Chain A
Amino acid sequence: MSFTHLHVSTAFSAHYGVSWPEDLAGTAAGDGADALACTDRDGLYGTVKHLKACMAAGIDPIVGVDLAVLRDGQVSGRVVVLAHGELQGAGYRALCRLISDAHANTGAHSRKPVGVTLEELASRCLDPVTLAPVLTVLIGPHSDVGQALRTRSYSTARSLFTRWLAVLPAGSVTAEVVTHLSPPGEALSTAHGVRLFKLARERNVPAVLTNAVRYCGIDGAATADVLDSARALTALGKLTDLQPNGQGWLKTPAQMESLAREIAKAADLGAPGAADLLSATGKLADRCRMDPAADMGWKQPVVPEASVIGIDQDPVTELWQRCEAGIGRRFGAISGSDERKLRERLNHEMQIIDRLGFSSYFLTVAEVSKMIIEMGIRAAARGSGASSLVNYLINVSQVNPLNHDLIFERFLSQDRSTLPDIDIDVESAERHNVYHRIFERFGAERVTLMSMQNGYRARGAVRDAGLALGMNEDDVGTIAKQLWRFSAAKFREAMAEKPELRDFSSRVEQNQQLDLLVDLTERLDRLPRHISMHPCGVILGDKNLLDRTPVQPSGLGLPMSQFDKHDMDPMGMLKLDVLGVRMQSAMAYALKEIIRIHPSRQEVAQAGRHRNVTGGVPDYIAGDGRINLEAVPFDDEPTYELIRSTHTLGCFQIESPGQRELIGKLAPREFNDLIIDISLFRPGPMKSDMVRPFLEHRHGWAPESYPHPDLKPALAETHGVTVFHEQVLRTFDVFTGCGMAKADELRRLLGRGEAEPGVEDFFRKESAARGYPPAVVDKVWNTLKAFGSFGFCKAHGAAFAVPTYQSAWLKAHHPEAFLAGIWEHDPGMYPRRLLVAEARRMGIPILPLDINRSTGEYRVERIDGGKLGIRLSLAGIYGLSHTELKRIVAGQPYDSLADLRTRARVGRASMKRLAQLGAFDSLNQHVHGPGNRADLIHHLNSSPSRPAQRRHEPIEGQLSLPLGDLELANLKPGLPEPPMEEKVRTELDLLALDVSAHLMDSYRPILEELGVTESAKLLDLRNGTEVIVAGIRVATQTPPMRGGRRVVFISIDDGTGCVDCTFFHEAQEQAGPLLFCTRLLLIKGLTRRTGPRGMSLQATNAWDLSNTETLPLARNRKPLALGR
């Protein structure tokens, strides 16, 4: 007994389906099915996962879609469309195109619903070449016909059905009969199904049985209810179109057969009727069985045609030629053993690339890379692509893999036929331009953006669960805010453990509704909510790409594939990650500022103290003074000095509290140290305690030890500790002689329960055969087992280390331009105000807003005495519109407030804000105005703002009379200048920055009373001293920790620097709700020395600094209560 379900929504039908493809396929196979359909709503969102799941379960996949049908621009109903199989993909191609049709011209700016007209549907049903039917349309209970039958409007139903049969090609229509056994008279009742069954027989149209499945098992019904509520944004109690009951699950063949009998009986058709229904279902299923490879191009990589990238010869020859050219460019006159090594490596890589037929892939990536650089945009390769010499030679990557022992096989090997990932980081501000350019360059038919699935996380899940239960929105919002980075499924567990949820969990005990809330939240966990544009993935294909993936509009307007990153490899799609990196924008900005302020080669060299070995201007500064950051050698001592000082705020990858602690301990001296540092600061190495032994060996506190002298070459750079994937590969190779390709396969199996024993057997057998003693084999295997699955790919570290070094280099040599770039593009983890505080710490003047000097950017400005400062940008002012800003900048300079009002048409509210922020102070000084800032604000508050009338505007070519500012000159003095505290508060309100002074300055008296220690003084204290510190929260992190117990890192800034505080379990209990919400903190703890330049705090307690009554002040201590 077998039954094929032809109408099944997976969880990837957002806000509709409940179950994952692997669960559905597994259940179907377990029930004896040999095929299963996936018909997600509006697209193929779950299709590739479905293929994978079906292959794993050993059943045939069937592929289709549940699509809305439009009539007169409105949705008239929904139908299921199935692709026919065994047609060399004709069915699948038509399905892709049909779905793209349904999404065409939809999106944010359109009112058109997603769906197709009957005519559009008809036009895709036949193969354009053979005119054979390639799609089957199921007219079911949710179609216009089905809806009419539900209300017994038989004549309407008949004429609608006639229309379907008239418009769609013969043989494309099938009736879909469903019963969810709902109460008589309701939708999806048996009678409802019977009517459609009868109508189909009347017209000689085949009728199949489905269960319109939304969940794998009966338990999913409640989840489907909650999804219905979330989709409609309506509480369950108020929802009118809930599913009639909970019968939409993947029923067993026996249950489906009994449904068929029930329907046939009710239709007075008896056993033959049931048999017809079931055999038609089986027949259609057979027609729609997909061959993943032949029909859908499973695992067959497709890259753009060579002609598109301007190549008319064999791509292999072309790639060879480009590599040869690269050797000349990158290495100049190389000879001897260096050249031999280089050639050997190149031959090795090219052999593998050629064998896999990936030459055009490399050429495509090189083309994109070249295109970006020609656009004048900074670009850097990241990821394992840095392992390839070919990438280095064709200018895709900036790291020479030979210098850092990077292994090509970690990137690509003959044993792995999947397309490798090459990721390119570009300036974030330019990312969209790059996308548009790629579309232009390769043609819209070959390019689409990749999408990503956004699933429910705890916060969203609580909100939608609360909505479903009709709970008060504010209550739910408060609860949602308390959730801190854990999945909804762990909700109950978290409530029991997390101190910040203590209040909530006691409420759950009191309030029953909260109990349901927790249950529903758990049910929603991880379910997909919607797809969106992936932050960096661009899919490149040949001219038939849109036959292989449906597309829909993205937020950007460019088409976006319905497939996500997990679907790329199975579908043979070449994905390029073009990632917008703000740091690249910040560095590009800094470079522009440097040359603007120092407009010649000599000036740049002098300002940055750049010298080459002979004392001259180094080559990386071009004739016009432009710095070529890529050409800066990786051996600049001042840069490493800056890094070792741990004053690395703003620097890529090494600014976080944890990283500053680590670089303080590691004290990097060269580029390889930076690679090691970045690689160590990863969840794996941190969790598996690689850091401590590494540091002990590095500083010579403990002797290095190697399990066997043969491993010394591989492990020497990390003093015997296995840190990198590359070292795991070498260890495998040395001990078993397996070769690098096999070694990488073995590495991938480490840590996988079912596969690891096989790896162990192989390792033990082979290493014993090579004569390694059992004790050594044991030891090495244990290391591999423990570290292998956690370690980090050195190539990734190397790629990351490049911008890390570059940003530190800029900070060391051109701090003003660097910080201006950081403020402008805000790339890091910290609020901008901390980086402003960093400028203050470094003695760089922060120049206030000035109506005549501030622009829409943070600019470096030379002030009296030649010193450089950074001028604040008008762009940061709250409430100042973009158009106002543009007009202000266009009209600069202004000689009076009236001039500003007239020419820049600045509104009254903005005038006031500008005055509050002191933007008119210099104008006022210039006219020797008698009033101060407070007087001006008062004046602007009281006088109505009237722009000068048109007839007073100077006509073009006429200069306005230099009258000076009568308004300022006539200002009535009398108010005191606003105190510093008020100025700072205004700045924080309007700019989110404290400019004139540090926010903490106003707390000085109370801090003195409390005996607070400044951050800058901590370093002078002994280890373990008990201190109190205070400051503004700038970062909160809960990194994964060895042992699994949560540790919370909170960094505060007090104006003299950052204090990094560690809250262990006990302290978290003490701090409770303060842990994640409070902005101004007072923290007590013990100093903990982390390195020669590092001191952090192990917190014991914390208080809210803004809540004076609760602070541990002497005056707050209540007298002891006497008696009770």
Chain B
Amino acid sequence: MGVFSESVEVVCSSAGQPLSLVWQNRTYEIEAEPLRWYQRRKWWEEELRAERGRGAGLVDHEIWRVQARVNDRSELRTLDIVHQVDTGRWRLLKIHDAVQDLSA
């Protein structure tokens, strides 16, 4: 399983769209329309089981590319966050402006 270095907390709209996230104890408000896609996983390498009825999150992960800032004055950062549908957890995958890939 890819190692996501940091867990984040995300508040979503009723439609499941992220509105804000908490990263390193700071709350980021998500601006603009986030982009969402589903990224395939090499589950046969990363998982120990793939039993029937396993459900969502085995074959792909839900990924959101969001633009967020702490407040009006701070800079807008582009972040990729992954929603692990099976566990409901969110993790930070990539910080674009920092060109720092955390998923290595």
A residues within 8 Å of B by Cβ? 180-184, 189-190, 218-219, 221-222, 225, 236-237, 242-247, 258, 468-469, 512, 515-516, 519-520, 522-523
Contacts and interface: CB of A to CB of B under 8 A. Distances in A.
Contact of A520 (B42, B50, B56): B50
Nearest to B44: A236
B38 A245 contact: yes
A525 to B, nearest CB: 9
Interface in B42-57: 42-45, 47-56
A676 to B, nearest CB: 44
A245 B40 contact: yes
B44 A469 contact: yes
A246 B45 contact: no
Contacts of A244: 40
Contact of B60 (A247, A515, A523): A247
B58 interface: yes
A526 to B, nearest CB: 12
27 contacts: A181-B36, A181-B37, A182-B38, A183-B37, A183-B63, A184-B35, A184-B37, A218-B56, A222-B54, A222-B58, A222-B59, A225-B43, A225-B59, A236-B44, A237-B44, A243-B40, A244-B40, A245-B39, A245-B40, A246-B38, A246-B58, A247-B38, A247-B60, A515-B49, A516-B49, A516-B50, A523-B50
A523 B44 CA distance: 14
Contacts of A468: 44
A1086 B37 CA distance: 69
A246 B37 CA distance: 11
Nearest 8 A-B pairs (CB), nearest first? A246-B59, A245-B60, A221-B59, A245-B38, A519-B51, A519-B50, A246-B60, A183-B37
Contacts of B59: 221-222, 225, 245-246
B87 to A, nearest CB: 15
Contacts of A219: 52-56, 58
Contacts of A245: 38-40, 59-60
A180 B62 CA distance: 12
Given A236-B44, A245-B60, A181 B38 contact: yes
Contacts, number: 74
Contact of B39 (A183, A222, A236, A237): A183
B104 to A, nearest CB: 18
A747 B39 CA distance: 55
Name which of A190, A225, A242 has the most chain B CB atoms within 10 A of its CB: A225
A112 to B, nearest CB: 34
A468 B44 CA distance: 9
Contacts of B42: 236-237
A493 to B, nearest CB: 13
A468 B39 CA distance: 20
A520 B50 CA distance: 7
Given A512-B48, A515-B49, A523-B52, 11 more contacts: A181-B37, A183-B37, A183-B39, A219-B52, A219-B54, A221-B60, A245-B59, A245-B60, A246-B58, A516-B47, A519-B49
A221 B58 contact: yes
A519 B43 CA distance: 13
Nearest to B59: A246
Contacts of B51: 519, 522
Contacts of B45: 237
B40 A242 contact: yes
B40 A218 contact: no
B43 A222 contact: yes
A105 to B, nearest CB: 38
A182 B54 contact: no
Contacts of A189: 37
A554 B89 CA distance: 52
Contacts of B39: 183, 245
A182 B48 contact: no
Nearest to B60: A245
B50 to A, nearest CB: 5
A154 to B, nearest CB: 23
Contacts of A183: 37-39, 63
